[in-house]
């Protein structure tokens, strides 16, 4: 069991420190069962597949909590919600008993075409009301709150009448959804668009933050790209420390998605989060099963 001294308004616990589950680490995890608190998977990687990926996911789920993180909900699109997609998402959530499901504040396509990219929203009242209604529909279908992640962004719409953080804050309150606060994305967007990242934290209803992302990025001088490569810089860790304290603690995950190093190196970077936050730990390490258990599984 993972003990959580703080819980957000949905009663969802702080499940500690996690990693994104990536195929390059499958073998290490299955052999060593490392003392990770939980894993996050990209929902779509397991919604359209069978065989080995799901077999491995099922084994991992036996020993760790698994959270779903999507990239194709397209909550801001003007296309109708894809109910077939939502059906597959709900089935996967139930299969792994995921404590929550998250996706991004973005749109990914229009007229049935998926760009496989997280495209920026126009931050207007019209777009806000449209997105609120869609979030409510999704939550009604899933029968649970969803978490929306703040995006990384490089351009803004000239017609926007709200800041990104005011849009996200109003959306969370009026749609009654949770937040996945990516502090690296806050840093990236504040650098690219020239605002104070603390203003972002000031605007958000922090009691709705259920999960954090931290990640590395690539600073090109004139702009920053959210590449999820390499270590997390100290400024991002500092932002994480402040946000974690403000929300009373929330589950935290390191994203490292390109040029992925060994499991040991990746987990060592994730464990740096413990210097900045009082994250709960698993009461028992996910040790390899005993010989007797191996014979019965």
Q: Is 92 helix (H, G, I), strand (E, B) or coil?
A: helix
Paired tokens of 35:
């003392």
Say which range, 112-121, 153-162, 173-182, 273-282, has the weakest mean pLDDT.
112-121
The domains found in the chain, sorted by start residue, are 17-296 (3.20.20.150)
Cα 36 from Cα 72, distance rounded (Å): 27
212 has a pLDDT exceeding 50: yes
Burial per residue of 208-223, b for 16 or more beta-carbon CB atoms within 10 angstroms, e otherwise:
bbbbbbbbbbeeeeee
| pLDDT for the residue 288 | 41
Give the pLDDT mean for 169-181: 98
294 has a pLDDT exceeding 50: no
Reported confidence tier of residue 290, pLDDT bands at 50, 70, 90: very low
Say which range, 55-59, 98-102, 220-224, 235-239, has the weakest mean pLDDT.
220-224
17, 271 Cβ separation under 8 angstroms = yes
Cα four-point dihedral sign 55, 57, 60, 64: negative
297 has a pLDDT exceeding 90: no
Q: Using a cut of 0.85, tell me whether the model's pTM lies above it.
A: yes
């Amino acid at each position: 069991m993972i003990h959580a001294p703080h819980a957000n308004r949905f009663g969802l616990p702080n499940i500690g420190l996690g990693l994104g589950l990536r195929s390059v680490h499958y073998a290490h995890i299955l052999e060593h069962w490392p003392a990770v608190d939980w894993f996050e998977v990209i929902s779509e990687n397991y919604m359209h597949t069978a065989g080995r990926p799901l077999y491995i996911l099922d084994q991992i789920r036996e020993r760790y909590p698994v959270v779903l993180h999507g990239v194709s909900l397209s909550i801001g699109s003007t296309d109708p919600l894809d109910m077939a997609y939502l059906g597959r998402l709900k089935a996967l959530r139930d299969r792994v008993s995921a404590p929550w499901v998250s996706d991004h504040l973005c749109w990914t396509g229009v007229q049935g075409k998926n760009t496989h990219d997280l495209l920026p929203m126009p931050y207007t009242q019209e777009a806000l009301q449209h997105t609120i209604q869609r979030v409510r529909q999704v939550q009604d279908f899933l029968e649970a709150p969803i978490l929306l992640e703040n995006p990384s962004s490089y351009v803004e719409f000239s017609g926007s009448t709200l800041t990104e953080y005011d849009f996200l804050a109003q959306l969370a309150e009026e749609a009654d959804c949770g937040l996945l606060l990516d502090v690296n994305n806050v840093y990236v967007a504040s650098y690219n668009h020239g605002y104070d990242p603390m203003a972002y934290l000031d605007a958000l209803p922090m009691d709705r933050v259920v999960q954090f992302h931290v990640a590395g990025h690539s600073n090109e001088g004139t702009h920053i790209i959210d590449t999820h490569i390499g270590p997390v810089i100290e400024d991002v860790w500092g932002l994480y420390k402040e946000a974690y304290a403000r929300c009373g603690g929330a589950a935290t995950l390191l994203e490292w998605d390109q040029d992925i190093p060994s499991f040991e190196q990746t987990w060592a970077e994730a464990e740096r989060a413990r210097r900045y936050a009082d994250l709960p730990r698993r009461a028992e390490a996910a040790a390899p099963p005993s010989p007797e258990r191996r014979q019965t599984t």
